[in-house]
Structures are given as structure tokens and as C-alpha cells.
Structure 1
């Protein structure tokens, strides 16, 4: 019994580091999961009066459908452009490639957890292989199978795999974010182009009116009723307004080229015909819950980045514990290739390796500190994404509210300016007012009509901006259905 006890002491001493590591393994547990953030029940711009401090718990919902929100504008051309952008946009393709790369890294990381088996063969020539032939050189030929497997006793490999999986999920969220961004940019660029078409038509119509006035003034000048100064004034207005029309033509060409890039086509082969602006303006219903922000792709990606950083903290902590690997191999070795696969030439071996670093100059501690710093940065970025999301939504909601009021006021300004032009034209033809009065009235009408179009265009832009800020369509299972969209003509007559 004493002899057995003495023999077991060396084994006990050898196992002490492993036992200590097992006791300390609890220190390397993964950090707690990211808590769900608190959000107000509704956005400030849409919320009814409620008690201060009314909050709701918002859980991540990145899998919630975002819907084909652009179809609410009821414009077939816009639908086709968004579909072409989804298929050919280079930004989406680049984000998809980064996602594929992240998934490949995940598969590579998962492979480290599986047994590694390989075939090997070799030939070497050296002296001293055959003891019977002194130091005469001889040849050794080998062929066999190698096996290795690392026991993931302390979770290093599993946590590395978790981090890679979360990185891939984060990339997937960024891909969805890129898709939404491209959809929104396509819609906003197209709507800007249609608004510009309407403005160009208005300016061209004004040029035609100025030319009619110019012909009248020229006839009166030839009859001696008006001086040349009156003719020159009208000619100036015609030329200046034509110049503005050409400026709008240049801006339209730039928007058309931008659409070509968004849809993945060359600007030289892309063309979009001018047509009436009949796109409907969806009405965002009141009561959209603030919890829809949990499906925003960028918030989802930021959250996955936090989880990945947490897993990497665990990976860094496992550097303090030993690594255990099993190895094995079997095959044949012979100095004569004719005898290589004979039974007498067989060879095999198995082994186990335990490695526990004792002193590394603080490298492991620095690794843990670096992982914790990355986690702190990921948490700060996640909070910044949430705060930025609320800002984006509130900005667009306030813009829509104010633009609706501005549209009504601007509509009254257009009506008054149009009436003033009609009266001035009648009085000018009857000689009751000067030409300057008529030109000023027309100039004011053009300015107010163009401003009304710009306000209307801003309403469309803010609607798309709100869709982007919400992370997709406002029509969610928790939200009230949208009202019937309004057309530009309906907006103009409100």
C-alpha cells in the first residue's frame, strides 16, 4: 500500500495544474447577454399625452418582415427600378460578398472543433538509419495517416465559433441595411427626378407665357404704343427663365445618371422618359409603435457585434488554461519501397499533449484587456445606433408634420399669386397698370408654384426617409394600417 502511495505522488503532482485549471474554469464563463433596451411606447411626434416615464421593453426583432414599402407609392416605374437595383446594385453585391466571406470564416472556425485527419507520404535519405552499415547513407520511405483532435475542455473553440457565427449574423444585418439603403436612395432619386420634371414643365410653361407677352409688346412697340425699353425687359425675362429651364435640364440629367448607377447600369445606356408626376404619397398612420426600431438592420448588426465581442472576451480568458490535444498516426516505414506495405514495416503511435503557459510577460492579460475594450466599444456603438435611430425617426416625423402645414400655406400663396397674375394681365392689356407690374406678378407666381413643388417633393423625400429610419414599412402587425395614399394632384388642391 505504501509503495502504491509513493508511486501515485508523481501523478498527483503532474495533475495539479489541470485540477487548478478546472477549478478556475468558472472564471471564463461568457458575460451576460446584452439586455433589451427600453423605448417609449410611441414616438414623440405621434404620441398622445401620456404619463411621463411610460416605457416598454423592446426585444430584438431583426427577423420581422420589412415589406415592399415602395409599392405604397403606386408607381410601376418605381417598382421596376427598385427591382433592378436589388438585382444589379454593386453596393448590395459587395455587402453580399462580405457576408459570404464571414460565413466562410465561420466554417473555417467550426472546422477547428472537428478531428483533423490527413494522409502523408515522404522519402528521405540520411546517414545512420541502418546501424549495421555504420554511417553509410540510406533511404527511408514512409506512408501513413495522421490524426489530431483538440479537446475543447475550457470552451475556447466553441466561443471562437460563436464569435464567428455572430460576426456572420452581423454581416447579414449589414447586408439588409445596404438593401434598405439602396431601396431608399433609388426611391428618393426617382421621386426627385419626377418632381424636377414637374418643375421643368412649370418653368417651360412660364417661358411660353413670357413669349406671348413678348409678341404682344413687340406689336405694340411697332405700333408706337410702347418704347423699346418695354421690349427689352420682356426679352430679359424670357432669356432668364429659359436659363433656369436649362439648369433644371442639367440637374435632371445628373439624377438620371445617379439612377443608372443605383440600378447597376451604365449612364450612357440608361434613360428615363419624362412623364406626369402621378406617384401617390402614402399617409403614415398615427400610433406607429417605437418598438419597430428593433428590426432596423444596423441596430441588429450592432447587437450581434456586442455578442461577438462578449464571446471573444471568453476566448481571451481561456488563454489562462491549458490546452489538451490528442494525436495519433499509423502507417508504414521502410528503407526499401518494395517492402513499404509489408506487415513488418508497419508503424503507429498515439499521444496526448497538455500545454499550460506559466510566464508570457503579460501577453494573456493584455489579450483579456483588449477583448474587454472591444466589448466596451461595441456596447457604446450599440447605444449610439439606438439613439441615432430615434433621432432619425423623430426628424422625419417632425418634417412630415411641418411640411403638411407648409403645403397648405403654400397652396394659398399659389392661389393668391395666380389670381394676381390674372388681374395684372387684364389690367395691363387695358392700359391700367405698367408692364413692370405684370412681370412682377408673373415672377411671383412662378416662384410660389416652384416652391409648392419643392414642398411636395420634400414630403415624398421625408416619407422615404421615415421608411429608412423605421427599418422598413410602417405596416407591422402592431401598427394600424396605412390610409389611402394621396396623389400630387390631391395634395395640391388641399
Structure 2
């Protein structure tokens, strides 16, 4: 079936209306390739570590953007907001997201005609004079200078009859959303890393306090043993044992300075500062152990940015199949030009000098040795890979949450046992020293009791640290209050600006000059 449209008798206004209608008609054409549907994944009804948990907590109690405030630590509260604007990993992902938004705009531009204008002007000398045998110009009055010129507008357009451009826009838009989710995931990961580093630094400070008290106690024991040695009431080996015990504790205390410096340096880098710019003051207070509302497993699919990124990659690759399929269909392009040309130049814009042209072309590949078929098969295989990656990401997310919940549950039981163990170790060390002073036991018994006391207290502190680290990890594994509702659609003009405003605002860093000291 062939359709012809006669344009010779149409005026300029009707021709413009016809052009707009034709543009809308072509861009509303079919789109080849499969439409995207999110693949189903098996989601458990409950977490195995939460028996009887069947309903999510109300949204008001779910962790929001500032999830770190649950630790009630002033250093965490002060530094966490800097991650989004100063962390270099976040800034790199932000730049990648901006690049993806630009790719969407570039693809979207192909839906519209390309309009251009050209103009030219020429000045030349033309004459009909002749030259004599002596080489002189004869009849030079006939020579003249001519000015000529042209002004022309041109339009070219390849209508998206088969949806190749729209599938490309769809692919790039999904890729941009994946980049946006990757940015959110990088931000959350770096925020969790900062909370982890601060918890480890606080634990190191608590260990330092514990060893300082231990050194003071061991110094007192050594003084007592030294006085008894001068009185000749004990064996000289007791002094050596007490002194060795004291020096070992001092050595352990000094060694903690290395770990503390490394944690402080890591904290500075995570907030975009040079290590020498940030000095973290010693604190004896440990962060509070937060209570984390978990909800049902199905909410994890909406709250994990890495899951959203994997899902958007599926959508992008599904659209890529349509782009590959569109290569089977002919490529059609239209062109037109209109303008004025005149020689001489005077009177160029008169209607008598008006010229125009319309044209069209179509091309179709008849044989390519199976290239297009291979491209389609490759796109489908790549889509299958993204489906497997998405389902693997979901499974990994459930594993992460279950690991955190089991860790919190088991460590809570261990902490209860260790509380009793610490009390017994303290009492045992006190009794052993009293018995030594009474002369009923040797100093080896005292040293053993004191070593048990220190080891038990350090174990209890390490368990407290592990519980805090599992809580921080759980916040991250639950998405930190993020939601897929925060993803913008870059196909809408306002989306890129809104997305950029919600991400790295202004790109400003918070690293100042000089040294900053924080609590």
C-alpha cells in the first residue's frame, strides 16, 4: 500500500501543521523488541532470625536518611553529613551519574529533526574584454564586478518508525537510574564505613582506658611486691614476674596507638580531608547500641540501592534487545531545504529568488552474514546475565540481613555471659592478691588471676564492638532508609536538575585549611 501526499498547493502554515502532525505520527510508531517486566524472585515471608515476625514496622519508625543518629555519638553525628559532599568515591559516582544523564539527553535528541542554516556570498570580476597581440586589454569597459549570494535553511530527519531511538532512550534512562542507585549505594556504603571506623576508634579508646587502669594496678602490685622483697619475705622471682607483667601491659598500651592513628586517618579520608587536617579527641564513651526496626523481607527489594541498581540494569539491557532487533528494519530519512539565491546579490530575499527541495531515502540490509541475528542473541544473553545478577544480588541481600540479625542475637547472649565472667574475674583477681599478701599463695596465682581479668574485660569490650558493628552493617544492609521512590526519571526535563540537587549539592568539599579537632 502506497500513500502519497501532495504539497504543491499547501500554504506555509498548512505545511508547518502537516510537518508537526507527521512528526508526531512517526514518533508514535511501533517499538520492536520485548517490553520490560521485572522478573519474579522468591522472597521469604519472614526472616529466620526473627521468629513470628510477619509485619513491617510502621514507616515512621523505620530508619530514615540520618540513620546514624541512633548510635547517639557526637562524632558520628558531626562527620556523617560530610560524606555526601566530600567523599571522593561518592563524587566519582556522582560524576558517572551526570554522564549517564547527558547520555539520555543525547539519545532523546535523535527523536527530533536537525535544522540548519547556510549562507554564502561571492564577489567576482567578470568581463568580456579581449587582449591584443601586444598583451594589452582591449575594450576594458565591458569588464564588471558581480556580487552573488544565497541563504538557505535545511531540515533532515530520520523518523523513529521502529522505535530504535525510543528503545535507546529507554536503555539510557534505565542506565541513568542504575547510576543514580549506584550513587546512593556508594554513599550508604561510605557512611557505614565511616560509622564502622568511628566505632573501632571508640573501642580502641576504651581499650586504652582499660590498659591504663591495668598499668596503674600492675604498678601498685609491683610496689607491694618490691617492699616485700626488701623485707625478705618473698622469693626474688615474684618481683621479676610482677615487673614483666607491668612492662607487657605498657607495651600493649603503646601498640594501641598505631591502630588508633590508622582509624583516625581512615576517618579523615572518608570525609574528604587529609589525615593531618583532622584530629579526633580521645573519648571514654562508647556509642549506644541502637534498636533497628527490620520489617518484612519484601521491603528489602525497595530499600536496597544495590538491588535497585541491578534491577535497572535489567531494564536497560531489555531495551538493548529492542535496539538490536530494530536493525532488521529499513532506515528511512527525510530532508528538505528552502531559501533564496540571487546573482547579483541585490534583491536576494525577493519571492522570485525563492527555491526549495524535498527528498527522502530508505535503505535496507539484504544480507549481512548473520550479523544482526548474532547481535540480537548477544543482547538476549546479556539480559539473561543481568537477570542472574539481579537475583544473586537479592539473595546476597537476604544473606547480609540474616548474618547481621544472627550476629546481634548470638552476641547479645555472649554479652550476658561475659558480664558475669567479668564480675567473677574482678573478684578472683582481688581474692588472689589478698591471699598472696596473707602468704597463702605464690605470685603466680596472682599473675594468672590478673591476666584472666584483663583478658575477660578485653573480650567483653570486643563483643560490645562487634554488636555495634553488626548494628551499623544492618542499617546498611536494610538500605539505610533509602527507597526506590527516590529514583528520578531522566526522560522528564525536570528530573536531572532535581536529581542533581538531591545528590552532591554544589560539589563543595568541607576540607578546610589547618587542623580541625573534633570530639
CA distance in 1, matches of 2:387, 2:300: 17
**Residue number among 279, 286, 289 corresponding to 2:296 in the alignment:** 289
Cα pair distance change 1:349/1:436, threshold 3 Å: same
CA distance in 2, matches of 1:41, 1:71: 29
State the partner residue of 1:93: 91
1:44-63 aligned within 5 A: 44-48=48-52
Determine if the alignment matches structure 1 residue 311 to structure 2 residue 319: yes
Query: Aligned to 1:119, what secondary structure does the other structure show?
Result: strand
Asked if the contact 1:467/1:474 (under 8 Å) is kept, the reply is no
Given the two structures, how large is their TM-score scaled by the length of structure 2? 0.77
CA distance in 1, matches of 2:2, 2:101: 49
State the partner residue of 1:43: 47
**How far off its partner does 1:339 sit?**
7.2
Determine if the alignment matches structure 1 residue 246 to structure 2 residue 254: yes
Q: How many residue pairs are counted as aligned between the two chains?
A: 434
Cα pair distance change 1:65/1:398, threshold 3 Å: closer
**How far off its partner does 1:101 sit?**
0.5
Determine if the alignment matches structure 1 residue 258 to structure 2 residue 266: yes
Q: Deviations over 1:103-125 (max 9, x none)?
A: 00000110111121122345799
Asked if the contact 1:144/1:329 (under 8 Å) is kept, the reply is yes
Cα pair distance change 1:139/1:309, threshold 3 Å: farther
CA distance in 2, matches of 1:47, 1:217: 56
Asked if the contact 2:83/2:190 (under 8 Å) is kept, the reply is yes
CA distance in 2, matches of 1:222, 1:169: 78
CA distance in 1, matches of 2:320, 2:256: 54
Q: Deviations over 1:34-62 (max 9, x none)?
A: 23433112111113299xxxxx9x9xx9x
Determine if the alignment matches structure 1 residue 234 to structure 2 residue 242: yes
Asked if the contact 2:304/2:482 (under 8 Å) is kept, the reply is no
Asked if the contact 2:31/2:166 (under 8 Å) is kept, the reply is no
**Residue number among 96, 99, 102 corresponding to 2:100 in the alignment:** 102
Determine if the alignment matches structure 1 residue 455 to structure 2 residue 463: yes
CA distance in 2, matches of 1:9, 1:178: 55
**Residue number among 70, 73, 81 corresponding to 1:72 in the alignment:** 70
State the partner residue of 1:464: 472
Asked if the contact 1:139/1:336 (under 8 Å) is kept, the reply is yes
State the partner residue of 2:188: 180
Q: Deviations over 1:220-245 (max 9, x none)?
A: 22233334322222221111111111
Determine if the alignment matches structure 1 residue 277 to structure 2 residue 285: yes
CA distance in 2, matches of 1:266, 1:284: 33
Q: Deviations over 1:294-320 (max 9, x none)?
A: 120011111111111111101111111
CA distance in 2, matches of 1:222, 1:9: 119
Query: Aligned to 1:67, what secondary structure does the other structure show?
Result: coil
CA distance in 1, matches of 2:47, 2:322: 38
Determine if the alignment matches structure 1 residue 324 to structure 2 residue 328: no
CA distance in 2, matches of 1:81, 1:196: 19
CA distance in 2, matches of 1:336, 1:451: 98
Asked if the contact 1:195/1:277 (under 8 Å) is kept, the reply is no
CA distance in 2, matches of 1:369, 1:10: 35
CA distance in 2, matches of 1:99, 1:162: 16
Query: Aligned to 1:147, what secondary structure does the other structure show?
Result: strand
Determine if the alignment matches structure 1 residue 441 to structure 2 residue 439: no
Q: Deviations over 1:411-463 (max 9, x none)?
A: 11111111100101111122221111111111110000000000000000001
**How far off its partner does 1:343 sit?**
5.4
Determine if the alignment matches structure 1 residue 407 to structure 2 residue 405: no
Asked if the contact 2:120/2:151 (under 8 Å) is kept, the reply is yes
**How far off its partner does 1:464 sit?**
0.8
CA distance in 2, matches of 1:10, 1:242: 95
CA distance in 1, matches of 2:184, 2:258: 33
**How far off its partner does 1:331 sit?**
2.8
CA distance in 2, matches of 1:397, 1:192: 20
**How far off its partner does 1:469 sit?**
1.1
Runs of 4+ that moved beyond 4 A: 8-11, 122-125, 138-142, 333-346
Cα pair distance change 1:139/1:363, threshold 3 Å: farther
Asked if the contact 1:70/1:78 (under 8 Å) is kept, the reply is yes
**Residue number among 379, 402, 411 corresponding to 1:394 in the alignment:** 402
Query: Aligned to 1:171, what secondary structure does the other structure show?
Result: helix
**How far off its partner does 1:402 sit?**
0.6
1:122-161 aligned within 5 A: 142-161=150-169
**Residue number among 288, 301, 309 corresponding to 2:309 in the alignment:** 301
Query: Aligned to 1:87, what secondary structure does the other structure show?
Result: helix
**How far off its partner does 1:361 sit?**
2.2
Asked if the contact 1:39/1:291 (under 8 Å) is kept, the reply is yes
**Residue number among 198, 202, 214 corresponding to 2:206 in the alignment:** 198
Cα pair distance change 1:92/1:412, threshold 3 Å: same
State the partner residue of 1:422: 430
Query: Aligned to 1:247, what secondary structure does the other structure show?
Result: helix
CA distance in 2, matches of 1:31, 1:341: 51
Query: Aligned to 2:278, what secondary structure does the other structure show?
Result: coil
| Structure 1: gaps of 5 or more residues | 1-7, 12-21, 51-55, 126-137, 476-494
